[in-house]
Amino acid sequence: MKAYVRAWKNCWEGRACAPEFKGRLRSRMSVDVPQGRDLAVTRLSRHVGQVRIPKVGVVRLRWSGPIPGVGRESGRVTGARLVKDVLGWHIVFRTEVEVGTPAQHPGPAVGIDRGVNVALALSDGNDQHHGPWLRPKEAERLLRLERKAARQRRARQPFERTSNRLHRTYDQIAGLRARAKRRRHDWQHQATTKLASTYGTVVVERLRITNMTRSAKGTTKQPGRNVRPKAGLNRAMLDEAHARTVELLEYKLTERGGQLLPVPAAYTSQTCSTCGHRDPASRAGIRFACTSCGWTGHADTNAAVNILNAAGLGRVRTWSPAPEGREASTTRRAT
């Protein structure tokens, strides 16, 4: 009831839409413990702890990290939430910690281009890569289970209840995808922590992921082109979870005295970072070859340098129109 009242207050004050019914199959099962005074969180060993849950009793848990207010950690536990997903039950603690104003980060500035070929391309060349989220055998098993689920769906009659075998296949698919999601989240935490500790100012593109991953199917009167390649590109972009990377990077930079600067993303991949000439023909896949000055290099690194320049922290360029669709450029050093 407390969450329900808060949802209506947020709606009336213009911060959110009106609350709706939660779908049983489209949401995760969760139980909220609003107060932390009776949880009695105790650490038993390096990887094992226990917590007292109301109406359940003492439950053991796997200790995955330090919790403020437990042991020698400063702070206090204000509540918890039990969440169930395909990998099992998890407990998330709400904590309260007093944090002072951090000193300004002394690190340098860097521009980051988020992509598919290179996950995080940095303007100084210190790119952040990752391997596939699923191992080869796991990817083969996922493909086999998806084909199996498609055969089981074809065998169903219209309006027939989903069989237990199909439900079991769905659970196995969800387990593999949840494992990949956990590995991706772990890599994002490690990469963003490294970046926030090294650099004082990080410049990123202001991307609209929803518009970028829109389907190219089109309509009946105006069908789209290259629908299947665009669908594969959309899946690859969504699999990177670029928006979450920026969210993690933003709060980690704030904790360390750094800052995150978003800049417009227009033409950063078509502009030469050396002479400032803009031409779509300069980029061919991951290779960038300027049609004006002849500079060649990696396209993602070139875009990362342009992103840094767009924030006024590198070389700032101003473009003036030139005849025959070309653009002349002038370069000046930012103070």
Please give the positions annotated as active site.
113, 205, 300
Compute CA distances 273 → 122, 192, 216, 334, whole Å: 13, 25, 31, 14
CA–CA separation, 1 and 17 (whole Å): 17
DSSP 130: -
Compute CA distances 222 → 106, 155, 216, 217, 278, whole Å: 54, 33, 11, 9, 31
Number of Cβ within a 10 Å radius of residue 58:
10
Instruction: Tell me the H-state helices in the chain.
Output: 2-12, 136-154, 164-198, 209-212, 227-240, 242-255, 299-310
CB 75 within 8 A of CB 262: no
Give 284's strand partners: 287
Distance of CA 253 to the CA centre of its chain: 16
CB 31 within 8 A of CB 81: yes
CA–CA separation, 118 and 126 (whole Å): 11
